[in-house]
Amino acid sequence: MSKLVTIYGGSGFIGRYIARRMAKAGWRVRVAVRRPNEAIFVKPYGVVGQVEPVLCNIRDDASVAQVMQGADAVVNCVGILAEAGKNRFDAVQAEGAERVARIAAQQGVGKMVHISAIGADVTADSDYARTKGEGEAGVLKHMPNAVILRPSIVFGPEDDFFNRFAGMTRMGPILPVVGADTKFQPVFVDDVAQAAELSLTSSAAPGVYELGGPDVATFRSLMETMLGVIRRRRMIVNIPFFVARIMAFGFGLASKLSLGIIPAMITSDQVKNLANDNVVSDGAKGLADFGIEPVALEAVLPEYLWRFRPSGQYAAIKESAKNLRT
């Protein structure tokens, strides 16, 4: 019988790519999510019955244990960028991660991969980074042979980074950013998924791996690259951190008073994160240790950002038509 992997958060941005790769590798895949009916799209990743979305709440022991029964390996992809309702950083990224590892150890699961983030640190000022660090510590406490993957900003067709800012360019001539000089090392989502796959299917050494793409660039430079891809001219305006903190406080207050109807465009915790570079540390293990050559940003962005061009799918045709002679 083929091996079974349970992927917590397996319908999310990174999780779905891991699920697809594990299915292609011949594994049976359980995609553990809060809303299985919204994760039906993962089923065609394999043959009939090979990939199944199942109900799970990572904040509950019994729920986590039930979907892990019989698994040969587990992957935890659950994480949040902003708190909402009962999904708090501590509950999801710290306690939730440790819960998965603890139950995996109790059930005798052989391998575990945990998706963390560059900057994870139990002493960080940011709640996001702090709980990521606490989650890593909790995982290693119970599953010392786990593989922890720390990606930088992850890009791909479903990302919430380039898609978000490309959408903002439709609103006016100015593109505001916080931390224009902060450095990132964007990594392709399928490169992260391949690292997770190899962690489970090969003899990859346990430990922490920091995953970044081939290029390091500032936030401003990334936005300039994006603007070139979508054929739009916008003035990139850097919002000073002290102004961003005031804005974040205002957005947070408006969101609370409206009971969440008005979403917070940026949070105070996100402002703290944007003050720190997000690049692979010197000497850290990374994609090269898996034998993976990272995909460049420019090779992928045009494949999914074309819809933000002024002429959308017709942009290439119009550009070609300019070369026609009358």
Token pair listed for 234: 């916008």
| Residue 167 belongs to some domain of the structure | no
Domain-embedded: residue 29: yes
Q: How many whole angstroms separate alpha carbon 230 and alpha carbon 278?
A: 25
Residue 39 lies in a domain: yes
The token pair that represents 219 in the structure block? 């936030």
How many domains does one find in the chain? 1
**316, 210 in Cβ contact below 8 A?**
no
Q: How many CB atoms lie within 10 A of CB 221?
A: 16
CATH number of the domain to which 138 belongs: 3.40.50.720
pLDDT tens-digit map of 144-182 = 999 999 999 999 999 999 999 999 999 999 999 999 999
Q: From CA 118, how far away is CA 257, in angstroms rounded?
A: 33
Whose tokens are 């022991």? That residue is 61
Q: Residue 6: which residues within 8 A CB-CB, separation 6 or more?
A: 30, 32, 67, 68, 71, 73, 74, 75
Domain that holds residue 29: 4-155+188-212+279-294
For residues 150 and 211, the answer to whether their CB atoms sit within 8 Å is: yes
3-state secondary structure of 135: helix
Q: Which of 149, 215, 226 is nearest to 184 (CA)?
A: 215
Asked if residue 195 belongs to a domain, the reply is yes
Question: Could you tell me if 208 and 139 are in contact, meaning their C-beta atoms sit under 8 angstroms apart?
Answer: no
Rounded Cα gap, residues 119 and 278, in angstroms: 7
Strand 183-184 versus strand 217-218 pairing type: antiparallel
Residue written as tokens 């958060």? Answer: 9
Residue 31 falls within a domain, yes or no?
yes
Residue 135 lies in a domain: yes
Tell me if 116 is assigned to some domain. yes
Q: What is the mean pLDDT of each run of 10 residues along the chain (326 residues)?
A: 93 97 97 96 96 96 96 96 88 96 97 97 95 97 97 97 95 94 98 98 94 97 97 95 94 83 86 95 95 96 94 74 67
For 318, the enclosing helix (H) or strand (E) is helix 315-321
With beta carbons less than 8 A apart as the criterion, state whether 290 and 215 touch: no
pLDDT in the model for residue 257: 84
DSSP 43: G
Report the alpha-carbon angle 287-133-119, nearest 5.
55
Q: Do residues 277 and 183 make contact, with C-beta atoms less than 8 angstroms apart?
A: yes
79 is a domain residue: yes
> For 71-127, how does the pLDDT look when each residue is reduced to its tens digit (9 = 90+)?
999 999 999 988 888 889 999 999 999 999 999 999 999 999 999 999 999 999 999
pLDDT for 326 equals 52
pLDDT score for 317: 74
